[in-house]
Amino acid sequence: MRKLKLDELNRATLTEFKAQQKLPVAVVLDSVRSMHNIGSIFRTADGFAVEQICLCGITAQPPHREIEKTALGATQSVNWIYYVDAVQAVKKLRADGYVIIAIEQAENSTMLNEFAPGKNEKYALVFGNEVNGVSDEVMKLIDTCIEIPQFGTKHSFNIVVSAGIVLWDFFSKLAIGS
């Protein structure tokens, strides 16, 4: 077996990517502090053609070289907007017709493998701060909460790993499974 060269991957150009149909998902970063995590989430959002990223609170904004270290240019392809806080973002997204989902460990959460996204819905997936998770103020506004099943000794996944798992799940159920 031979690995493919970059020019054999047939990736979209920036112009083609901007014009292509997007996964009906907005990623909301609720005061994410690590710029490497922010950049990695941009890159993951590019990979799954996510509609937009909402950077909220203390979440850093591009352009910043620490974000670009992991984003590798995805800050140019993925649409993003900054909000002073995640509550403001969630209220705007709800007004725009998005179903608001926290990715969090909470009472009555739905396990990711049991969640079936609707084909005609738009989703705002809220990922929280690396230490404190999704803010209590946002948790009061969500429509539902999804939890990623875990089977080890640690309390949680890194936010980038969580974003990758959840975005792949939504992509596989909405784009591939359709």
Residue 40 lies in a domain: yes
- pTM for the model stands at 0.97
Whether residue 10 is contained in a domain is answered as no
In tens, the pLDDT along 41-67 reads: 999 999 999 999 999 999 999 999 999
Domain that holds residue 131: 20-147+156-176
Residue 168 is part of a domain; what is its CATH number? 3.40.1280.10
Task: Give domain status of residue 60, yes or no.
Answer: yes
Averaged pLDDT, 93-104: 98
What total of structural domains would you count in the chain? 1
Sign of CA dihedral 94, 42, 178, 102: negative
Q: Is 162 exposed, middle or buried (0-12, 13-18, 19+ CB in 10 A)?
A: buried
